[in-house]
Amino acid sequence: MNCLTREETQKYIDNELSADMHNCISNHIKSCDICKGLHSEVLKDVKQLHKYLQVFQVDTESIPPVENIINAQKTSVFTTPVFIKSIAAIILILVTLSILIPYFDKPDRITESEWIVNNLLNDNDPNKQWNDNQILITITNSSDELVLSFALDNSDKINK
Amino acid sequence: MVKDFERTYLKFYKEIYQFAFSLSLSAEDSSDLSQEAFIRLLKEYNKGVTIENPRAWLYKVILNLWRNEHNKSKKQKTKNLHINTPSTDHNTPERNFLKIEKRDLIFDCMNQLSPIERDIILLYHDGFSYAEIAELLDMRTTSVGTTLSRSIKKLTTKLKAKHHELFD
């Protein structure tokens, strides 16, 4: 058998080899000074390692009551981050829509009823205007609200 | 189900806390990690899931939680020097100080290893077999021996070279 590598020695020490291989190595170590030396070195490192890592030993005062875990586990679905984020997103969408919706419903022209009412308020008879071939001028502001309306007769006189 | 959980909790809490502490060196983080791991275990039990090896399962959860936590904040974890010290204090303040200093040095040296190397050493120290380590760290069983051997050599060399006066 060839001399051992460090890895093989490690596996041997940790009993991670097949029974046959383990026996083979045991016999080899007995007869080979180099492998015997390597075995001692690796074994010493392993013992040192366990000794070093004992510094992380901490005496926990006591084990916290298991009820802490049981109660912590009973979190309502309503307090989960996903649920809260979903609700926040829905609220944001609703607020945005409530701000924007009034701007969606804009008439792009004066409605017929508005025109008729305006004429009546100004003592104009829409039917007479129609018969007299008058031209109706309407002026709206940037919000499409009727500001002014007047009629032009055939002689281009402005009758307000 | 709750009884099973309670048994598992009482059996493994200290060990899981210990493992979390060796990763974080912070009592607060260790408590949080341990509690979170057991909460997840309880949820699995409540779902009716059978966990054959709860010890290994808990270790895996701690490792994953720690990695996520560590990746989130890359800043160096502050070491809590006022950690629980043995209440039955046969140690003098000087001994305690030396113990803390040794612990910090070992922690520093371990953090100079790669995460896999550090984790493999800690799991090995806690008595896991190569097959269990391979499963916990998502590596091949055949690689465990090689990585372990290399990691131990690296760590012991670092410690002996830099801080031999503490380890004589």
Q: What is the pLDDT of residues A67-97, one digit of tens each?
A: 777 777 676 555 567 778 888 899 999 999 8
The per-residue pLDDT for A154 is 59
Query: With contacts defined as CB-CB under 8 Å, which chain B residues touch A49?
Result: 121, 124-125, 152, 155-156
Please say if the pLDDT value at position A40 is more than 90: yes
The per-residue pLDDT for B134 is 95
The per-residue pLDDT for A39 is 95
CB contact under 8 A, A45 and B152: yes
Q: Helix (H, G, I), strand (E, B), or coil: what is residue B34?
A: helix
The angle subtended at Cα B166 by Cα B165 and Cα B168, nearest 5°, is 70
Tell me how close the Cα of A107 comes to any Cα of chain B, in angstroms. 53
Rounded distance between C-alpha atoms, residue B67 and residue B62, angstroms:
8
Which stretches of chain B drop beneath a pLDDT of 50?
76-89
The per-residue pLDDT for B80 is 44
The per-residue pLDDT for B83 is 44
The per-residue pLDDT for B26 is 85
Quick one: what percent of chain A has pLDDT higher than 70?
Answer: 72
The per-residue pLDDT for B15 is 92
CB contact under 8 A, B130 and A16: yes
The per-residue pLDDT for B82 is 41
Query: With contacts defined as CB-CB under 8 Å, which chain B residues touch A58?
Result: 17-18, 21, 27, 30, 83-84
The per-residue pLDDT for A133 is 66
The per-residue pLDDT for A62 is 77
The per-residue pLDDT for B73 is 61
- A13-34 tens-digit pLDDT: 999 999 999 999 999 999 999 9
B128 touching A, CB under 8 A? no
B159 touching A, CB under 8 A? yes
The per-residue pLDDT for A80 is 62
- Helix intervals (H) in A59-125: 66-73, 81-104, 112-121
CB contact under 8 A, B145 and A14: yes
Among B25, B122, B146, whose Cβ lies nearest the Cβ of A7?
B146
Rounded distance between C-alpha atoms, residue A25 and residue A104, angstroms:
86
- A101-130 tens-digit pLDDT: 777 665 566 676 777 777 766 766 767 766
More confident residue, A135 or B55: B55
Rounded distance between C-alpha atoms, residue B76 and residue B122, angstroms:
20
**Lookup: tokens for B168:** 């004589």
